[in-house]
Structure 1
Amino acid sequence: MNASTPPHAAAAAAQAAAATTWTPPVVTKKQVNYATWVCFFAWVFAVYDFILFGTLLPRLGDHFKWTADQQTNLNTWVTLGTVIVAFGIGPIADKLGRRKGIIIAVAGAALCSGLTAFAGWVIGVSAGVGFVLLILVRSLAGLGYAEQSINATYLSELFSLVHTDPAATKRRGFIYSLVQGGWPVGAVLTAVLVAALYPLGERWFGPGGGWALSFVFAMFPAVVIAILGRRLVETPQFLTSKRIAQLQHEGRTDEAQRLAHAQGVDLAARHHTGISAMFKGVSLRPTLSLALAFFLNWFAIVIFAVLGTSVLGGSGGTPGKGIDFSNALQVLILSNLAGFLGYMFHGWLGDRIGRRTAVAIGWVLGGMAFYMMLQAPQGDFWRIVPLYSLGLFFLIGPYAAVLFLVGESFPSHIRATAGSFVNAMGQVGAIAAGFGVTYTLSHGADWVQAAVYWGAVPCIISGVVMMLVPHVDPKSVK
């Protein structure tokens, strides 16, 4: 090119050359290892804030003199807000990037924790305004809950780049199961820190105000993780998708097609974008089947993981299985240990027989274990507790495989949006389960009957529904 070349022609030539030579950045194993650790701790502290509210809600109720109905209504509205926020983060991660999505989710969890303590102060000044503010603030916990779906999207893309040899491909699910293990770690951490911080908080904030310190403390580790997240590498898949979209927007369709072909991207699928794309083409089947499976399985999560102590020991004058745990922390540690071991097993199993099949088998066996537990003689500790633990092993453990499967089941340009939608359907199931249990108990049933109808049976059905999910060959994930 000589000096007489017109400026606009030179610019066009430079653009064409850039399009021809552009390639996504290479990701190293060191960067992926760093991302794996950051995602693990991000999930631990997101879980800490998410579980903290449920753990301390009875204490808040005592402190502010709320009735049982007020606490139930508060929790229902908060869960609904969580659904909306958890779904909203997906489109953001597809537009801004997985790295920024993780930072937003973790920073949102930190903000939620701090504002919860502030909302408590507002309630002390104006109960009505503070109650509404608390609902809005705790809805931000949906960012922390959605962090697991963004993690799965982010790591499934990174792992497909560096874990490419046959041996490494068979470890992807197991490695992710270690990250998902942040849930039981965060749950136990919540119980331990509440036990340590609550008495200290009462000395600082007065009788009944010990809950506030736990939320204030939850801010700081989440802020640290958000800062560490700034060093995360963006996935080449997202950068490629963004580059193709830019070329198409500029009308350079031929260059976009060449880049898509070079990177193995299905350009035809990109005609469907945004939320509606989940329900079109090849994405329709995984969207509907995975969403229904999550919806049904969260019935069992609510009954046996959240309300497990009520099912075992009874509550509110309604009998359970006659198992009295004098220390709730023991139940928490038992259930989360079973869940953690379940994560490891199902992550490993999914690498070998396929994640869809591993999840389906796990949830069916989990539902059967819970059903046998519910049919065991009342008060038979050595039959009920082992079956309860086995049920949790097969109920919670498959989430290590199913969340990674969600990340593998959709094209890159809608992967986070679809993952967040599927994940949020679990919270919708939690709301439906709460209404179902309340209705059943109010019509004379005991906890055992309610757990059969709204826990064991939906768990089995969710496993059957998983067989409708398309099988994904990990080697095919782009």
Structure 2
Amino acid sequence: MGIQASDTGGQTSEERGWFRSMTPRERRTFWGCFGGWAVDAMDVQIYSLVIPVLLSVHFLADRSEAGLIGTVTLLSSAAGGWLAGALSDRLGRVRVLQLTILWFSFSTLLCGFAQDGTQLLVFRALMGFGFGGEWVAGAVLMGETVRAQFRGRAVGTVQSGWAVGWGLAVLLSVLTEQLFAPEMAWRVLFGLGVLPALLVLYIRRHVTEPPLLRAPAGAPGEGPAAGPAPKAGFLAIFAPPQLPITVLCALVGVGAQGGYYAVTTWLPQFLAAERGLSILARGGTLALVIVGAFCGYLFGAWLSDRLGRRWAIVVCAVCSLAIVIPYTTGGLPGPLFTALCFPLGFFSASYFGGLGALFTEQFPTALRGSGQGFAYNFGRGVGAVFPFLVGVLADALSIGFAIALFAGAAYAVMAVAALLLPETRGKQLSEAA
């Protein structure tokens, strides 16, 4: 592995102005992937925001059914993500990115026409199949396009688009609940989820495949010589030389996804049921969490380049654990509870800032889509059980205790698995081709 000099010492002026130093192709790819992650988040988070409404109008029977729909969606997204990763190794990152955005956009629209909980479960499962694939295609595309010295910050900053999309979903949720009766508001909100399909127009016009997949060896302006990546079977990630890396990355994915969805899927209902907040108060509280998440993504991306991929994940996991337990179980007074909203969002999102670069650098080019897709989405598949288990335990005890229990376990798994992975900061991807 080649480690850049700047990784072990002070930053150059180019690194400090990394975004300005990006080439036009890198910058266009950045905005395409950032937008993809934002609209992905918007459509994903709509469901958690309408859970209180669906329960209040008795469209869903109870919290267990609500949690089951969330779990099925994530399980479907795990399958879709792995498939999309394998397809991106064969069809190209950009093409798969476009297909997944179109898929989850129109599936979200269908959710607005559901007549009962079973239909909503089916439509959300279809939606999950698309949204699971978008992250893989976008993260691999960005990781392979940007230069090594910027990779952590670029891929991590793309992740911050999730907070933007989440914030947009909250804004639209508040607006629809103010403008429409509850029985219609959630349907309108799902209907607005088709708008992300428009992003495909930008991607088709401005985003191209990364040099590692399309450049002939030594092509000028394409960085280190790298011919088209050889094709490999997607099961090659389980071959003996690669298997330990695949397993450890998958465990990191379990911790990252399980912890995140245990918190965010049930946070609106926690605020409504245990904190007694109205829709406007919930919107304000979630806004603080989302602003914290946006800053956390950027912090995690920066920390990944400065501290290294592994230790950035560990630090963020420990801090997440230290925040989520008192936030959800402490019965905190109002001012202190509000003060913790920003750090909750900050640390629960921060580890995602380094996750994409970590996974990108652990797999060779021919297996990168398959490996990264499996690791991230195996984690999502296992983590998918967490919303359902939180819902079941919440009916028996409390939402806050259930969130703390499952999120805490997930953060611990993530930290230990990250420590066991090799450090890859500064790795030139051509070395792993």
TM-score by length of 2: 0.82
Q: Is residue 331 of structure 1 aligned with residue 305 of structure 2? A: no
* Aligned residues of 1:364 and 1:464 also touching (Cα < 8 A): no
Q: What residue is the counterpart of 2:405 in the other structure? A: 453
Q: What residue is the counterpart of 1:108 in the other structure? A: 103
Q: Is residue 379 of structure 1 aligned with residue 346 of structure 2? A: no
Cα 1:74–1:196, aligned 2, differ >3 Å: closer, same or farther? same
Q: What residue is the counterpart of 2:71 in the other structure? A: 76
Q: What residue is the counterpart of 2:136 in the other structure? A: 149
Report the Cα offset of residue 439 of structure 1.
Answer: 5.1
* Aligned residues of 1:285 and 1:470 also touching (Cα < 8 A): no
* Aligned residues of 2:285 and 2:341 also touching (Cα < 8 A): no
Cα 1:421–1:361, aligned 2, differ >3 Å: closer, same or farther? same
**Aligned equivalents of 1:199, 1:384: Cα separation in 2:** 26
Q: What is the CA deviation profile of residues 69-120 of structure 1, one whole-angstrom value per residue up to 9, with x for unaligned ones?
A: 5434433333332322222211111110001011111111222123223x42
DSSP-derived class of the 2:242 partner: helix
Report the Cα offset of residue 41 of structure 1.
Answer: 1.4
Q: What residue is the counterpart of 1:159 in the other structure? A: 146
TM-score by length of 1: 0.74
Equivalent pairs, count? 399
For residue 420 of structure 1, the aligned residue among 373, 376, 393 is 373
Q: What residue is the counterpart of 1:251 in the other structure? A: none
Report the Cα offset of residue 314 of structure 1.
Answer: 7.7
Q: What residue is the counterpart of 2:316 in the other structure? A: 362
Q: What is the CA deviation profile of residues 368-413 of structure 1, one whole-angstrom value per residue up to 9, with x for unaligned ones?
A: 233455675x333454444454243222111011122212221112
Structure 1 or 2, whichever has the larger Rg, is 1
Q: What residue is the counterpart of 1:184 in the other structure? A: 163
DSSP-derived class of the 1:209 partner: helix
Q: How does 1:90-105 map to 2 (within 5 A)?
A: 90-105=85-100
* Aligned residues of 1:197 and 1:214 also touching (Cα < 8 A): yes
Report the Cα offset of residue 341 of structure 1.
Answer: 0.9
How big is the alpha-carbon RMSD for the aligned residues of Structure 1 and Structure 2? Answer: 3.0
Structure 2 unpaired stretches of 5+? 1-21, 218-223
Cα 1:463–1:385, aligned 2, differ >3 Å: closer, same or farther? farther
**Aligned equivalents of 1:279, 1:223: Cα separation in 2:** 35
**Aligned equivalents of 1:448, 1:64: Cα separation in 2:** 23
* Structure with larger RCO (C-alpha < 8 A, sep 6+): 2
Q: What residue is the counterpart of 1:406 in the other structure? A: 359
Q: What is the CA deviation profile of residues 232-284 of structure 1, one whole-angstrom value per residue up to 9, with x for unaligned ones?
A: 111121225xx89xxxxxxxxxxxxxxxxx945799xx68x233111124432
Q: What residue is the counterpart of 2:40 in the other structure? A: 46
Cα 1:266–1:57, aligned 2, differ >3 Å: closer, same or farther? same
Q: What residue is the counterpart of 1:253 in the other structure? A: none
Q: What residue is the counterpart of 1:33 in the other structure? A: 27
Q: Is residue 212 of structure 1 aligned with residue 184 of structure 2? A: no
* Aligned residues of 2:37 and 2:135 also touching (Cα < 8 A): yes
DSSP-derived class of the 2:146 partner: helix
Q: What residue is the counterpart of 1:396 in the other structure? A: 349
Q: Percent identity?
A: 20
Q: What is the CA deviation profile of residues 303-327 of structure 1, one whole-angstrom value per residue up to 9, with x for unaligned ones?
A: 333323555x583xxxx6xx55441
Structure 1 unpaired stretches of 5+? 1-27, 245-261
**Aligned equivalents of 1:145, 1:37: Cα separation in 2:** 19
**Aligned equivalents of 1:385, 1:465: Cα separation in 2:** 32
**Aligned equivalents of 1:62, 1:105: Cα separation in 2:** 32
**Aligned equivalents of 2:88, 2:300: Cα separation in 1:** 27
**Aligned equivalents of 1:309, 1:63: Cα separation in 2:** 16
* Aligned residues of 1:46 and 1:147 also touching (Cα < 8 A): yes
* Aligned residues of 2:156 and 2:301 also touching (Cα < 8 A): yes
